[in-house]
Structure 1
Amino acid sequence: MQPPQMHAPFEAADGVAVLPAWLPVPGMGVLPANAFLIEDREPILVDAGVGVLAEPFVAALRTLIAPERLRWIWLTHMDPDHTGALGELLSAAPEARLVTTFLGAGKLGLSGVSPERIQVVEAGETLALGARTVTAVRPPYFDAPETIGLADRDNGLLFCADAFGAVAAAPADSLGEAALAQGMAVWARLDTPWLGDLDPARFERALAQVAELSPRTVLSAHLPPARDMTAALLEAARTAQQASRAPRAAAA
């Protein structure tokens, strides 16, 4: 089995870089584990890398920006594949504040993070970075209750935490629709096993909120950047929910 690997950063959209890692999923393939850097007057890092890759993550970040320039670190949730280099970054970026929800702030506090380093946001609130303003949004599905994504509406970007994640056969720049549907179904069963228990009408309302945003680029922590694929992602999410429901229906 291949160990987790950090790959070279690349541009996902104007002013947005991906810091990609790939994690082995034994017997199934690999899973992307992305963080993102948004350049602006107040640069913001979205998530903080994978724990076992903290050192190469910070090294990759330094090829994009001097960490001391960071003003914000947006933590979509507190899983170790999203907070892995946080300790190093808190020291390397002394002016950066951590953005999370009320529950996320509580979890950070239990880890010893000072409240003065934390900016609490909830869905619908905005954060001005300079030329960009981002809005906190709740992804349509997630694995941790503190999860909060963000949308850059003016630039057509949606950062959606774990939502729309997909297991892939091998590291890739993109996934075709068939591989996307299959990979999302696999990841949903692993990461959000409750998805099949969710009322389909309620799930459809959550997906409709994504459609209303009309993002041109969807940036998931666990999917290669998806450009002009929102309709395909929404349909694959429906398929993933149906696949999650099927075993329960058969057992009944």
Structure 2
Amino acid sequence: MTVTNAVSGTNVHEVADGIYRINTPVFFEGGPGGFSFNQYLIVDGAPLLFHTGPRKMFALVREAVASVLPPERLRHIAFSHVEADECGSLNEWLAAAPEAQPLCSGIAKLVSIDDLADRPARGLEDSETVDLGRHRLRWLATPHLPHAWECGMLFDETTQTLLCGDLFTQGGAQSPAVTGADILGPSEAFRRSMDYYSHTKHGDAMLERLAALEPHTLACMHGSAWQGDGAALLRALAVSLHE
């Protein structure tokens, strides 16, 4: 792991071949335990950043990206759904990477991003693929899972890595970059305390579709990335959501 900012603790760690987790721990005044924000950088012929981080974290995330590759090399700025930690610094990234394009769901492009962003987005339809060079990504529409109509996830078929956004969100600020330990228990405790899932009636089917991909790495947006039997973990999440 490389610490790229000693003051914030922002750090970079390669969690799969060519995929780097950028992590910034945060502590809220008067709040318990802290939290963390992750972005994922895929280094390839057409590099991709998944999640921009909040606008006020742009300088920290840019510094971290620059420790791996020149930010202007980015060609895709992708995100799961429209929230500040997902795409809050989108326009700052478009300025830093003049040849990059926003990458999101077709719904996000239609209802939000083509108005919010300084350049038009590429809106992905369900199962559409994006070739970065060595890495081939597939867009999986997951409306309302865990939340937001426009929600979706990217699956890297090359490394069996699921960029799963807010699934398996873990609290705390000091989690390891990658773990094979239990994250279902901590993430479900966090979910139950805030209830940020939409409770969509299609959740079981969407989780089973993700499980069928048999991911090896789950690139979580908050907390540790996880490695192991991703199919079993996703199915365990489906069971837990009914309890």
Q: Under a length normalisation based on structure 2, what TM-score does the superposition of the two structures give?
A: 0.84
1:70 Cα offset (Å): 0.9
2:22 counterpart of 1:19: yes
2:42–2:49 contact (8 Å) kept in structure 1? yes
Deviations 1:131-163 (A, max 9, x none): 221110134822222122111123211111111
1:86 Cα offset (Å): 1.9
Alpha-carbon spacing, 1:31–1:122, altered in 2? closer, same or farther (3 Å): farther
2:90–2:117 contact (8 Å) kept in structure 1? no
Q: CA separation in 2, counterparts of 1:63 and 1:36?
A: 13
Q: Which amino acid aligns with 1:232?
A: L
Q: CA separation in 1, counterparts of 2:25 and 2:130?
A: 30
> Within 5 Å, which residues of 2 pair with 1:183-222?
183-187=187-191, 189-190=193-194, 192-195=196-199, 198-199=200-201, 202-222=202-222
Q: CA separation in 2, counterparts of 1:219 and 1:112?
A: 25
SS where residue 95 of structure 1 aligns?
coil
1:30–1:171 contact (8 Å) kept in structure 2? no
More divergent stretch after superposition (88-97 vs 135-144): 135-144
Q: CA separation in 2, counterparts of 1:6 and 1:81?
A: 17
More divergent stretch after superposition (34-43 vs 49-58): 49-58
1:238 Cα offset (Å): 2.9
Q: Which amino acid aligns with 2:84?
A: P
- Extract unaligned runs of 5+ from structure 1: 244-252
Q: Which amino acid aligns with 2:227?
A: R
1:167 Cα offset (Å): 1.8
Q: Which amino acid aligns with 2:114?
A: G
2:168 counterpart of 1:167: no
> Within 5 Å, which residues of 2 pair with 1:215-234?
215-230=215-230, 231-234=232-235
2:51 counterpart of 1:50: no
> Within 5 Å, which residues of 2 pair with 1:21-170?
21-24=24-27, 27-105=31-109, 106-115=111-120, 118-139=121-142, 141-168=145-172, 170=174
- Extract unaligned runs of 5+ from structure 2: 1-6
Alpha-carbon spacing, 1:193–1:148, altered in 2? closer, same or farther (3 Å): closer
1:28 Cα offset (Å): 4.3
What is the root-mean-square deviation of aligned Cα atoms in Å? 2.5
Q: Which amino acid aligns with 1:220?
A: C
Alpha-carbon spacing, 1:121–1:237, altered in 2? closer, same or farther (3 Å): same
Deviations 1:191-236 (A, max 9, x none): 52433xx44xx43322211210000111121231111142235414
Q: Under a length normalisation based on structure 1, what TM-score does the superposition of the two structures give?
A: 0.81
Report the counterpart of residue 9 of structure 1 in structure 2: 12
SS where residue 198 of structure 2 aligns?
helix
Percent identity between the two aligned chains: 25
In terms of Rg, which structure is larger? 1
